[in-house]
Amino acid sequence: MKYYQPAAAFRRLCDAFDQMPGIGEQGAKRMAEWLMYQSDAQAFLDTLEQAAAMPLCQCCNLVVEDAGHCPLCSDPERDAQTLAVIAETAQLQPLLDSGFPGQVYVLHGVLSPARRIGPSTLRLENFFSRVQQQPPEQLLLALTDTVEGRATADYISRSLPAQRSHSLAFTELLTLPSTESE
């Protein structure tokens, strides 16, 4: 009995989708098939390319239209003495809805050796530079309540300079839902 073996390019496309958080093998196959049979696949690819080229806010790491600072960082009403670190952009709105008055910094992930996500992948040096240039009085590590989230919080708290004058808090109150599948 012979088995069907998809073309190598299709398998690579499936593998690329399978690497995305929350997308399993079957979902990756469905997405790859959808993309391959779309007459406007090029428009999708162009949009993806444009999104990948969007700059990040120099202060908080949020995606912005133009290089510089986002509206949150430019808002003089936000408390510059309090900084919350979140793992994903999807956690921003729940944090703001909770009435959080301070500024934010988005890591775009958490440390995960199993997924080969280390400090350089998260560009943590940018975060440490931001904290040194604009030291907050309070730093809230509002990361996901997972092994990776706690490891990331621990890494950040141990990596900040010993002479820091602000307090650190990993708070269960601000533990935000993850959009990643566990």
**DSSP track, 57-99:** -TTT--B-SSSS--HHHH-TTSEEEEEEEES-GGGHHHHHHTT
The residues facing 169 across adjacent strands are 140
CA distances from 163 to 59, 167, 171 (A): 22, 11, 22
Give yes or no: residues 158 and 105 share one domain. yes
Q: Which domain holds residue 19?
A: 8-52
Position 61 in a domain: no
Give yes or no: residues 47 and 82 share one domain. no
pLDDT digits 0-9 by tens, 85-124: 999 999 999 999 999 999 999 999 999 988 889 998 998 9
The tokens describing 114, both together, are: 């199993």
Q: What was the pLDDT predicted at 161?
A: 65
The residue type at 53: A
Q: What was the pLDDT predicted at 162?
A: 52
Give yes or no: residues 108 and 27 share one domain. no
pLDDT digits 0-9 by tens, 51-79: 889 999 989 999 998 888 899 999 999 99
Q: What is the pTM of this model?
A: 0.76
- Give yes or no for residue 166 having a pLDDT over 80: no
What whole-number distance in Å separates Cα of residue 13 and Cα of residue 11? 5
Strand-pair category, 102-106 with 79-86: parallel
- At 152, the pLDDT band (50, 70, 90 cuts) reads very high
